[in-house]
A and B are shown apart, each in its own frame.
Chain A
Amino acid sequence: MSEHAEPQPVPPSSVVLVSGGSRGLGLAIVADLLDRGVRVAAFARTVTPELDKLAAEHPDRLHAGPVDVTDLAAAQAFVRDAEVRLGPIDGLVNNAAIGQDSLHVHTATGDIARIIETNLTAPLQLTRLLVRRMLGQGRRGRIVNITSICAQRGFPGLVAYSATKGGMDAATRSLARELGGRMLVNAVAPGFFASEMSAVLGRTQLDQIVRRTPSGHLTEPAEVVPVVRMLLREQTNINGQVIVVDGAASV
């Protein structure tokens, strides 16, 4: 059977599922897509007041709820409910993840398993769920995996985390091949944010990264959001790529 792309371009996503959409980059992606008129389904372990506020402002275009991404049955139920309310999902942003802040030798084996389950197994299963629905209904779609510069560069204290992000980068490439042009699959790999995960690195390491960054500052979620939007909405032939957003710190 041919593995070559079908000739029609993949249309912009109009209903997008965002995992981990209640705070930080995930919340910023949700808000941005809503601003552009996209319908959004967003879940997170806890629905924050910020996500609740967006839901109140966009009652017809945002479906939000509490789902632990590792709970596949809950994710399936959420997707079904979201599609009843918003229509068929044709975009996925795998953003939900947990961080790490411990040297590998001092990380409990249970914590390593939890990081892998949340950051690698769960997004692969969520992707499978969504791709099955899209393929089964003859839909085309777009997938954006939020990974990390950790997948490409080494940082102490982030061994298991980096392994999961590298795994998602690799899955991005293989899935883009596997889906034969019917879906566009890409990853966005931010550098360290000044907040959240980057608390792991400590002031000295963050200062070193800033000094090494030609653009002179750590990445902000607002600088990543337009790249995610482009991959979901713009007509491009970008597929199977990992786009690094780190001000050239890693170059």
Chain B
Amino acid sequence: MTTFLSQNVERLQAPEIDYGAVAPLLIVLGAACLSVLFEAFLPKVQRWAAQVVLTLLTLAAAGAGLVVYASGEGTPEQGKLTLAGTIAVDRPVIFLWGTLLLLGLGAVLLIADRSVEPGGAFVADASILPGQGSQVYKGSGSTMVQTRAHATRFGMQTEVFPLTLFALGGMMVFVAANDLLTMFIALEVLSLPLYLMCGLARRRRLLSQEAAVKYFLLGAFASAFFLYGVALLYGYAGSVKLADIANATTATDRSDTLLYAGFGLLVVGLLFKASVGPFHAWTPDVYQGSPTPVTAFMAACTKVAAFGGILRVLYGAFERSSWEWNGVLWGVAIASMVIGAVLGLTQTDVKRMIAYSSVAHAGFLLIGAISLNDQGLSGTMFYLMAYGFTTIAAFGIVSLVRNGDGEATHLSQWAGLAKRSPVVAGVFTFLLLALAGLPLTSGFVGKFVVFAAAVEAGMVPLVVIALVASAVAAFFYLRVIVLMYFSEPAPDGPTVSVPGAFTTVAITLGAAITLVLGVYPSFALDWAGAGTFIF
């Protein structure tokens, strides 16, 4: 017995860890744990301030760690594998981590804001039940009562900060995962906090909780698909490592059925997270029901993480079998663009409209991802960055337009907004034009690089369909501009809140980057194209 144990001890070598490379990851996840302790031990009145400071410091420290590592002397140019080969820190991962941290910063600023909605966009206590009316919940005995006084006194459910950090940490692992099992763990770490955060809206509790349940149920199914796909691929290749699967696809003596079935199931799980049509069904409901800062976080960061994962899997494991699956993903990309553009036309709620726009954008991104060349990789990553910042700023503005019942998201309520608030309408117009892909915005450069990569890969028909879909999608962006500028305001229309410092910074950050990436995209294109994946 003792010999058996000692033998084992000898064999078990601790994996080598490059702490410099994974420092951003450790900082974010470590701070998430610390943040949970804050929740447990700090008195309720101090929590908000402490959490905001901790979260912002965490993001800054992680960003600093990333910059130090990326520009450090001893950093291998092509990147390196660490943690026993489960995590790859290469140039694309560094780019995606940087993007995630910056987008996370924007989202956290929106989450932390307490001035637009007094007390913040989150419910004071998650156990408050949906009741009649939208503001005051009456109850007796042990049922929670939310009154204005209660809300102001207790502010928001500050657990949202650790949840955000955990989700962000999960996303960072997700894009760097070098085997499918690590990827699955990361998928769960990023998903579970998001399910909870969806249900925390202060207003319209029922809608918010419905969104959370819907996202959870569908997300659980998608995770199951993913896991089943991993199992089949393990059966096919005898390994869950991306590089081993890639090697296996070059051999001829294995069961193609396992490969196709495993790949299909795996990709369904990934496409679900990226809200690519026809796996998008959750997107409009969840975007609409979630608190707007969480929607911004999901729309920007989850999209980056999911497509980071898709890129990694396609390039790492399935590049050599691409002719087997290319046709299917063509179809998926077309379906996504058509669904997003056409159903977006019929929407009357601004959050649902942006949700369908995100489905259409997911189709464009998928075109870049399946180009499978260097331009496709860097173009898709650039597009992710551009889209993320535009979306964060757009949702920041959505959170400002309010009436007595909270956010006024119905499009008819936006009529004549330019007269009431020219600056907000102007910035939102700019963001919509960026989503539509007009020149001098980041949206145009993003579309250009992705479509150029696709033409290079010989996918001209797909690009033509994508361009027509862009033109269709432009219609619903323009419709909002028409409403804001060319219509007369309704007499009892919404007011535009004066944003607090946090929201102002977030919107400014998003809009400024949208402009800079549109006018002078070179530096970001260089970063995105600095290197390729290692496996």
Real binding pair: no
